[in-house]
Structures are given as C-alpha cells and as structure tokens.
Amino acid sequence: MNNHNTKPDSWAAKNTKNTLIVFYWTVAWILTTALVKFGTEYVWQSNRLLTGLAILFNVIIGFGMVLAVKRYLVGLDEMQQKIQMDAMALSLGVGLVIGLGYQSMGQTNLIPFEAEVSHMIMLMSLTYIVGILAGLRKYR
C-alpha cells in the first residue's frame, strides 16, 4: 500500500499538472485562432494556401486541447467529475437549444443582426461557469 498514486500530495500535483496542460493547450488554441483571423487579414492577405494551413494547424491544436481536457477530467475525483459533467451537459443543452433558435431567428430576420457563432460560444462559456459554480455550491 505504499503506492505513490494513492498519496493526496501526488494526486494534487498530478491535478495541478493536468490543469496547467489544459491551460497551455487552450492558450495555444486561442493563439492559433487569432493567427487564422489576423494572419489572413494582415500578414498574408488572404493567401488561400497559408490560410488553409493555418486553419489545419488550428484544428490540430484544438484536438490536442480536447485530449488534454479529457485527460484532466479522468484525473479528477468522482465528485469533481460529476460537477464538470453536469456543467458540460448544461452548457451543451443550452447551446444546442438556444443556438438552433438563435440561428432560426437570424435566418428569418427576426433579429436585426447576423447570428454569430461567437455569441453562442460566449453563452455556452457563461452557462458552463454557472454550472460549475452551482455544482461547487451544491456539493460543498
């Protein structure tokens, strides 16, 4: 029973490491997203090959981020996993239901502006944060 994986300090260190890895992958993904947007506009002036390569790089980094989040979730204890999964389910549900309605409002001109995916990302992010806070409060 002297397994180092059962020590609380070892678990905390691994959890901290996984959190930092998710942070680094997320920052890399955000930076590559900015590279696609601003590189196309200001650096290589809509060169299709460079834009395509930048998008491919962004997608590859995005999948790396997804895998890092999966590793992070697997490393959490059961209660933290439940809080995360509940928050993710809430975010996905709200995003899907509101997103489809929002898109329909944009397509039928019920709103005076274009329905942007960035609006849905903000809504889903805020919903996820609310879900995390509600879960932490519920299980404290």
* 93/71 same-domain check: no
- The last residue of one of the domains, among 20, 43, 75, is 75
Residue 8's pLDDT band, with cuts at 50, 70 and 90, is low
pLDDT, average across residues 96-113? 94
pLDDT at position 63 is 98
pLDDT at position 2 is 43
pLDDT, average across residues 120-129? 96
- Taking residue 28's Cβ as centre, other Cβ atoms within 10 Å add up to 17
Overall domain count for the chain: 2
Distances (CA, A) of 104 to 9, 92, 136: 50, 18, 34
Mean pLDDT across the chain? 92
Residue 92's pLDDT band, with cuts at 50, 70 and 90, is very high
pLDDT, average across residues 50-68? 97
* 124/82 same-domain check: yes
Q: Could you tell me how many residues make up the chain?
A: 140
- The last residue of one of the domains, among 75, 97, 127, is 75
Q: How far apart are CA 120 and CA 100, in angstroms?
A: 10
* 53/112 same-domain check: no
User: Do 56 and 3 meet the contact criterion of CB atoms below 8 Å apart?
Assistant: no
Closest C-alpha among 130, 129, 99 to residue 115 = 99
* 50/104 same-domain check: no
User: Do 131 and 87 meet the contact criterion of CB atoms below 8 Å apart?
Assistant: yes
pLDDT, average across residues 21-43? 95
pTM of the model: 0.79
pLDDT at position 9 is 79
pLDDT at position 35 is 96
pLDDT, average across residues 126-138? 97
- The last residue of one of the domains, among 22, 50, 75, is 75
